[in-house]
């Protein structure tokens, strides 16, 4: 599909299918079709069709979210989940908050940041909305977050339920992205009830999450001392006994039950030390690390060393890990 321009046909094609189903008064199928329509053209229009076709659109949206959370995970699952959460926020009634609380209890860990963001839309803000804050925007297939989507109003009781629920989830055991997103919610919308929750997040092993919690506390007028954290994982690379100094090295961290990986590159310091972000290795329960691969760049000169070294997951220590490479002429 990439580069063919075919995506320009998908929105009008999908809208025509919905119109055809509606013309035949096949309301249930029309509602189901709307849930699969890419909402980039008219998200509010898609939502109006859904509300007109079924007596309880919230139940339909929640059912779709439960399917994505409990069913098989695919490439488009995060974007489709974001689309349905955007629909949920634009529905009316306090039942949305209770539905989100119920869904979080069964959501996979990778979905927690998005659910926290959705519940954060119900946390009241004392500041006036900034430019464009009330504008509803959807990226193709709903995007991967809920930026720009404003929830329809909820009662004070529902707002308090959202705040209390988010506070109850604040824990050093949260995955890094979820802990950071939770701190961001209360940083953007300070609440007195959230201060104990933010203090708990200071103990998160990730410096990223702890720093966001500290920033939220300081913006609320509290001093926040971050406990010591482990720094980046450091590999000291030697090639034939000499430091691999100020040279480019590429690294790949493989993780999970399938062959998933993240990669990047790093220039070593004069001692041949390359640093890999510690956060990658901290979420061990959600994605167990298989190993680390350190290698020379894809393009090297004829006189440069060509190597690839596989290493086990690093220990929970700030000690420098020595990687000794011995080469032979080719």
Residue range 6-43, pLDDT digits in tens: 666 666 777 788 889 989 999 988 888 887 765 555 67
Write the CATH number for 279. 2.60.40
pLDDT attached to residue 136: 47
Q: Are residues 27 and 140 in the same domain?
A: yes
pLDDT attached to residue 11: 67
Q: Are residues 168 and 78 in the same domain?
A: yes
Helix/strand/coil percentages in the chain, nearest 5: 45, 15, 45
Which of 195, 219, 243 is where one domain is finished? Answer: 219
pLDDT attached to residue 163: 97
pLDDT at residue 93 is higher than 80: yes
Asked if residue 227 belongs to a domain, the reply is: no
pLDDT attached to residue 288: 80
Of 157-171, 181-195, 301-315, the range with the lowest mean pLDDT is 301-315
Q: Are residues 197 and 290 in the same domain?
A: no
Of 3-12, 24-33, 182-191, 208-217, the range with the lowest mean pLDDT is 3-12
CA dihedral (233, 236, 239, 245) positive or negative: positive
Asked if residue 226 belongs to a domain, the reply is: no
Q: Are residues 26 and 71 in the same domain?
A: yes
pLDDT attached to residue 46: 80
Q: Are residues 160 and 274 in the same domain?
A: no
pLDDT at residue 278 is higher than 60: yes
CA-closest candidate to residue 149, choices 181, 119, 104, 179? 119
> What are 147's two structure tokens?
């930026």
Which of 152, 185, 219 is where one domain is finished? Answer: 219
130-137 long-range contacts, Cβ below 8 Å, gap at least 24? Answer: 136/43, 136/44, 136/86, 136/90
Asked if residue 225 belongs to a domain, the reply is: no
Contact 210, 231 (CB under 8 A): no
Q: Are residues 195 and 69 in the same domain?
A: yes
pLDDT tens sequence across 133-155: 444 444 444 455 788 888 999 99
Mean pLDDT of 216-222: 93
Asked if residue 330 belongs to a domain, the reply is: no
Query: Which pTM does this prediction carry?
Result: 0.82
Mean pLDDT of 175-181: 93
* Between residues 138 and 105, the one the model is more confident about: 105
Q: Are residues 21 and 142 in the same domain?
A: yes
Q: Are residues 104 and 215 in the same domain?
A: yes
Which of 163, 194, 219 is where one domain is finished? Answer: 219
Asked if residue 224 belongs to a domain, the reply is: no
Q: Are residues 61 and 128 in the same domain?
A: yes
- Domain hosting 256: range is 233-325
pLDDT attached to residue 131: 45
Mean pLDDT of 101-116: 94
pLDDT attached to residue 6: 67
């Amino acid at each position: 599909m990439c580069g063919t321009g075919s995506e320009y046909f998908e929105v009008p094609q999908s809208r025509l299918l919905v119109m055809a189903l509606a013309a035949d008064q096949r309301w249930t199928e029309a509602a189901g079709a709307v849930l699969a329509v890419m909402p980039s053209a008219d998200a509010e229009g898609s939502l109006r069709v859904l509300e007109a076709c079924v007596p309880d659109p919230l139940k339909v949206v929640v059912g779709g979210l439960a399917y994505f959370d409990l069913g098989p995970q695919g490439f488009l699952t995060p974007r489709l989940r974001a689309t349905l959460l955007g629909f949920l926020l634009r529905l009316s009634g306090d039942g949305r908050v209770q539905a989100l609380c119920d869904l979080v209890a069964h959501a996979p860990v990778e979905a927690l940041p998005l659910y926290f963001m959705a519940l954060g839309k119900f946390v009241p803000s004392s500041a006036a909305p900034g430019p464009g804050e009330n504008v509803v925007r959807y990226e193709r297939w709903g995007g991967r977050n809920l930026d720009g989507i404003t929830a329809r109003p909820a009662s004070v009781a529902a707002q308090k339920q959202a705040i209390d629920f988010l506070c109850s989830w604040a824990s050093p055991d949260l995955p890094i992205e979820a802990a950071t997103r939770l701190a961001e919610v209360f940083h953007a919308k300070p609440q007195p009830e959230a201060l104990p929750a933010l203090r708990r997040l200071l103990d998160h092993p990730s410096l990223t999450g702890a720093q966001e919690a500290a920033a939220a506390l300081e913006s609320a007028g509290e001093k926040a001392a971050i406990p010591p954290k482990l720094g980046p994982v450091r590999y000291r690379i030697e090639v034939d006994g000499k430091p691999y100094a100020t040279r480019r090295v590429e690294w790949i961290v493989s993780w999970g039950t399938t062959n998933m990986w993240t990669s990047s590159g790093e220039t070593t310091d004069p001692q041949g030390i390359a640093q890999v972000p510690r956060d990658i290795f901290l979420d061990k329960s959600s994605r167990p690390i298989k190993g680390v691969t350190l290698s020379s760049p894809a393009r090297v000169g004829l006189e440069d060393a060509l190597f690839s070294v596989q290493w086990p997951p690093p220990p929970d220590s700030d000690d420098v890990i020595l990687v000794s490479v011995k080469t032979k002429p080719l």
